[in-house]
Structure 1
Amino acid sequence: MTENAAEPAEMRFDTVEALEAYLAATNQPTNAPGDTQLRMLRHAMQDTPPACRDDERFVADYLTAQHRVELGRICRPCPLRNQCRAYATRARPEAGFWAGQMYDQPTG
């Protein structure tokens, strides 16, 4: 997803619905699965750093069982866990550890 210059950085949205209304009113597309949820997560991260910040294991393609346990412990108290989960559930990222789990692409 590319950043859209039309979305003011100082704006805050409390709900996905509020963000979607803003995007619709300003004719900004939300085409890819998870776009809206990712924007909500990014907005939340402006005020609150995620617990996973600076830990490269969270963006790894492969994790051992032990790493998954360790990362789950980091995710559990994170104040951004709900936004993270909303994004990952919708977008199904192929890599990384999101809100306490890995979200592999569904097999067809």
Structure 2
Amino acid sequence: AYYPRSRAGTEADQRSSKPKKQPTIYLDPTRAEANAAQATVTLCTMPALGTVTALYQGGGTLTWAQTEQALDLLHEASSRIHYVVAQAISDRFLARQSTAAAGEDQGDGQPYRMQ
């Protein structure tokens, strides 16, 4: 996730009592987006084990609220992706088992390889 750099406002804008617009958080930014970021947060997890394996915050500083928001979004995205990948692996395995049980060609012999 990353926070894009905010545009520098005029001095009058900075003194304004209007609430500031919340920064946008992007998940899985492109290289150009990441290079333009105010800050980045990387979270690596093993959702099936409920484990965080790595956490990195780079670039500029973020408030605790911004960091917490980014971590919440990243954790949710990681859990969703984990479910999709686990389901795809399971479906592929079951399809190969059915093929083998029917006596058909075993394919490439690597039942867990994603194609």
Structures share fold, TM-score greater than 0.5? no
What TM-score comes out, normalization by structure 1 length?
A: 0.25
Ranked by relative contact order (alpha carbons within 8 Å, sequence separation 6 or more), the top structure is 1
What TM-score comes out, normalization by structure 2 length?
A: 0.24
Which has a greater percent of strand? 2
Bigger Rg, which one: 2
